[in-house]
Amino acid sequence: MNPHVLRERGYQPFIDLLRANMSHCGALRIDHILGLLRLWWIPKGESASEGAYLSYPVDDLLGILALESHRHQCSVIGEDLGTVPEEIVQLLLDSGVHSYKVFFFETAKDGGYISPEHYTGQSLSTLCTHDMPTLRGFWHCDDLRLGQEIGIYPDEDQLQMLFDERAKNKQRMLDSIAWHGHLPEGVGRDAMFVPMDRYLAEGMQLHLASGSSALLGLQLEDWLEMDKPVNIPGTVEEYPNWRRKLSATLEEMFAREEINSLCQRLTETRARASNKE
């Protein structure tokens, strides 16, 4: 959207966009919410290096977002990952927009994983996203092998570095989950010999659920122990993005005792986490 035209039209296109979405949900996730502050515009036919940041009337846009959120009783989650301008962080917080905390990305300077108990309360936490592999795919490095097959990683040395880094990250995750007491009995402590099964997946989800985020997001693929991702960023024809189905219907899923048991334990863990505040 052209910011000058938006102003001229009294922000009506932005208002219409919010109303069209908020009228059908209780929470709305806005992808790349940093675009309310600035966007990298590239002249048609030029490369990205020829682009420039274009500023947007962020105060006006956040004010409209807050107003429509209140009118529709619809919470807002802002995807604030990647290169985040310092000035947007406080603006989103003051506007009541929930931050986006992805466990895989929340690391400390020493490479260890930040405890979900230390996440900001005004946030939605999740283990992974629609642009990432499933838990099983991540843990077994299926995404790296698939990327090699379809040509994303043509450099063998680069690919090996990714495998090595994945091994380190898996061990750090396992250490963090074990230290916080969420690693189930019978699950080993050496990530090299620990497969991703229902028990480890549940431990990771309960670890996240024990955190301080107001909202928790989990993927049904991980409840069904699926390995194929729904989307691989940067691909078009190489992979059938957004076409992979769940391996079971919702009715079938919630007829499974182990899934209902997990839901109950997640509910109890969230309740205990809420009482800590």
As to burial, measured by CB atoms within 10 angstroms (0-12 exposed, 13-18 middle, 19+ buried), residue 211 is buried
* Torsional class of 137: left (φ above 0), alpha (ψ -120 to 50), beta (otherwise): alpha
222-250: average pLDDT: 95
Give me the torsion for CA of 126, 36, 85, 25, rounded to 10°. Answer: -10
Predicted pLDDT of residue 72: 98
130-153: average pLDDT: 95
Q: What b/e readout covers 242-260, taking b as 16+ CB neighbours within 10 angstroms?
A: eeeeeebeeeeeeeeeebe
pLDDT at 144 over 90: yes
Q: What is the pLDDT of residues 29-81, one digit of tens each?
A: 999 999 999 999 999 999 999 999 999 999 999 999 999 999 999 999 999 98
Predicted pLDDT of residue 277: 59
pLDDT at 208 over 70: yes
pLDDT band at 198 (very low <50, low <70, confident <90, very high): very high
CA 117/CA 211 separation, integer angstroms: 4
DSSP H or E segment with residue 161: helix 156-179
pLDDT > 70 in the chain, percent: 100
Residue 84 tokens, joined: 């985040």
CA 62/CA 44 separation, integer angstroms: 29
Predicted pLDDT of residue 56: 96
Q: What is the pLDDT of residues 78-125, one digit of tens each?
A: 999 877 888 888 899 999 999 999 999 999 988 899 999 999 999 999
* Torsional class of 38: left (φ above 0), alpha (ψ -120 to 50), beta (otherwise): beta
Place of tokens 């690919």: 159
- pTM, 2 dp: 0.91
Contact 182, 210 (CB under 8 A): yes
pLDDT at 128 over 80: yes
Predicted pLDDT of residue 81: 87
- From the list 217, 275, 206, the residue with the least C-alpha distance to 98 is 217
CA 25/CA 21 separation, integer angstroms: 7
User: Of 218 and 111, which is predicted with more confidence?
Assistant: 218
Q: Compute the half-sphere exposure of residue 269: CA atoms within 13 Å on the CB side of its CA.
A: 24
CA 170/CA 104 separation, integer angstroms: 10
